[in-house]
Structure 1
Amino acid sequence: MNEGANRNRKTALIFSGVAVGMVAMSFAAVPAYRAFCQVTGWGGTTQRAEAGAQEVLERPVTVRFDAAVSDGLSWRFKPEQVSQDLHIGETALAFFEAENLSSKPVTGRASFNVTPAKAGIYFKKIECFCFTEQTLQPGETVSMPVTYFVDPAIAKDTNLDDVQTITLAYTFFPWEDAETGSGGDSAAE
């Protein structure tokens, strides 16, 4: 083989390796970003906790609730309470109501965040409907709980001294079941 053919082959291998690497990184980006957000609270991502806080502070906080449904999901979804007043570290229970407006079973899954985003690392959920997908039968209405608290460590973060209200927001999206292919209801009913 001549020198030019070897150089072309080497260049092709390098570019192929770069392309494969870029594809691999694009698939790894979503899980890596999700893990980063869960660890740091980036973008208002809340945290999971096994149990409630060990102490309750005198500092009050108001938690407001927001709910939305993405296109393609024939549900009505709303918080059952507008807000709750509690103390930092106090465990609270809130409920959200979902109704399947379609004529067939529909599965959805909720994404969530808090605002201000800087409070995300201190907002801890013990139990939540958002941890798994939810399937509602035709016309079914359910009340879904979330058990949460605001971590007392927030009081040591001077960047959060101004936080008196935290909004917990959920958006339900269609969830495709890998086995049946069912889930969201994008067809008009």
Structure 2
Amino acid sequence: MNDSIARRNRRVALAAFATVAGMAGLSFAAVPLYAMFCRITGYNGTVQAGGQAAPGAVERQVTVRFAANTHPSLPWKFEAAQLSMPVHLGDQGLAFYRAANEANRPVEGVATYNVTPEVVGKYFHKTACFCFDAQTLQPGQSVEMPVSFWVDPAIAQDPNTRDIRTITLNYTFFRTLADAERNGALASAGPHVGRTATP
């Protein structure tokens, strides 16, 4: 009788252990299985890889123009490396701006940007950019500054934007207030100051 109870207890213990081990295994597998399910079905807004491009991403293009402005207080030469480029809706674009410090001392600048026409702003997405971060250039130093972006294919469905074929991305570089105070207010920076490099 005691042997029978002991065997039954061992079977129950083994079954309980197997159940716990199985549940632990499933919990670890749940995340990759759920991710796989989302990739296959697009559930929960997951981007699907390897499928067809979004509607309009291949057939429809817009031209993105690049403009560069320098505030008179900043002794930099700042310009777009390219005047414009065609971009398929939904595709990633990569452009470059160039900045050079023409002063004989380090100078710190910061850029702001805007997109025109303003109505396209919600469809223009930057994934990497140099705006709003202070940049310090040493005397005579020049740098290339990349900006990567894409234009949402939904722009072609909006009655307010579907006829737009050209978008302008405009950057303006300013001298930071801290740098201006360090170097004695806003001194003149040379003949290039105020130059606007636009397409």
TM-score calculated relative to the size of structure 2 = 0.63
Query: Deviation of residue 109 (structure 1)?
Result: 0.8
**Which segment drifts farther, 55-64 or 112-121?**
55-64
| Corresponding residue of 1:101 | 102
**Partners of 1:184 and 1:113 in 2: CA distance:** 30
**Partners of 1:182 and 1:132 in 2: CA distance:** 18
For structure 1, list consecutive stretches of 5 or more residues without a partner in the other structure: 1-50
- Kindly report which structure 2 residues correspond to 1:27-176, keeping only aligned pairs within 5 A, or say none: 55=54, 56-176=57-177
Cα RMSD (Å) of the superposition?
Answer: 2.4
User: Quick check: 1:187 aligned with 2:192?
Assistant: no
Query: Deviation of residue 115 (structure 1)?
Result: 1.0
**Partners of 1:166 and 1:136 in 2: CA distance:** 30
**Partners of 2:116 and 2:83 in 1: CA distance:** 15
**Partners of 1:184 and 1:115 in 2: CA distance:** 35
| Corresponding residue of 2:42 | none
**Partners of 1:92 and 1:164 in 2: CA distance:** 16
**Partners of 1:135 and 1:160 in 2: CA distance:** 38
Give secondary structure in 2 for the equivalent of 1:104: coil
- Which string of whole-angstrom CA distances, capped at 9 and with x for unpartnered residues, describes residues 91-147 of structure 1? 011000001010111111111111111111111100001141111111111000000
**Partners of 2:133 and 2:183 in 1: CA distance:** 13
**Partners of 1:110 and 1:188 in 2: CA distance:** 19
**Partners of 1:122 and 1:152 in 2: CA distance:** 8
For structure 2, list consecutive stretches of 5 or more residues without a partner in the other structure: 1-46, 48-52, 190-199
TM-score calculated relative to the size of structure 1 = 0.66
**Partners of 1:131 and 1:124 in 2: CA distance:** 16
Contact 2:119 2:161 in 1 (8 A): yes
Change in Cα spacing, 1:100 to 1:57, as seen in structure 2 (3 Å) is same
Contact 2:112 2:132 in 1 (8 A): no
Moved segments of 4+, more than 6 Å: none
Change in Cα spacing, 1:68 to 1:185, as seen in structure 2 (3 Å) is farther
**Partners of 1:104 and 1:158 in 2: CA distance:** 51
Contact 1:102 1:185 in 2 (8 A): no
* Matched residue count: 136
The amino acid across from 1:186 in the alignment is: L
- Kindly report which structure 2 residues correspond to 1:1-40, keeping only aligned pairs within 5 A, or say none: none
Contact 1:74 1:185 in 2 (8 A): no
Identity among equivalent pairs (%): 48
The amino acid across from 2:107 in the alignment is: V
